[in-house]
Amino acid sequence: AQSVTQLGSHVSVSEGALVLLRCNYSSSVPPYLFWYVQYPNQGLQLLLKYTTGATLVKGINGFEAEFKKSETSFHLTKPSAHMSDAAEYFCAVRNTGGFKTIFGAGTRLFVKA
């Protein structure tokens, strides 16, 4: 069975500091991996996804993530946090050939001025 673990339900950084949100997954088949962002009272927006090929994936708003198969990780990073990055972030996994997406519990990012 697939599962996603996000380490840290809350992460707080200062504006301009590095953002690192951790995600580990388990999957018995090669996975597709996703990061979504959710602002209050809104749906989810895709930040980036890994399907095949290059393991370093760049997304919107300056975010990127690296797929590390040996560590079963897909951590999300951004070099310099902005106040507008404050939101809830979800890591998700989907089987290749499947359509059910499994989400982690989410990490709420706080950005301090």
Partner 1 sequence: DTGVSQDPRHKITKRGQNVTFRCDPISEHNRLYWYRQTLGQGPEFLTYFQNEAQLEKSRLLSDRFSAERPKGSFSTLEIQRTEQGDSAMYLCASSREGDSAYEQYFGPGTRLTVT
Q: For partner 1, how many residues bind (rule: CB under 8 A)? A: 27
Residue 24 in contact with partner 1, rule: CB under 8 A:
no
Q: Which residue has the tokens 């106040």?
A: 83
Helices (H), 41-94: none
Residue count of the chain:
113
Residue 23 in contact with partner 1, rule: CB under 8 A:
no
Q: Which residues contact 105 (CB under 8 A, 6 or more apart)?
A: 6, 9
Q: 69 or 79, CB closer to partner 1? A: 69
- Interacting residue with partner 1 among 43, 53, 84, 113 (CB under 8 A): 43
- Interacting residue with partner 1 among 26, 42, 55, 80 (CB under 8 A): 42
Residue 2 in contact with partner 1, rule: CB under 8 A:
no
Contact 38, 105 (CB under 8 A): no
Contact 77, 13 (CB under 8 A): no
Amino acid identity of residue 22, one-letter, is R
Residue 5 in contact with partner 1, rule: CB under 8 A:
no
Q: 92 or 111, CB closer to partner 1? A: 92
Distance of alpha carbon 54 from alpha carbon 77, whole angstroms: 16
Residues lying near partner 1 in the complex (CB under 8 A) are found at 4, 9, 32, 36, 41-46, 49, 51, 90, 92, 94-106
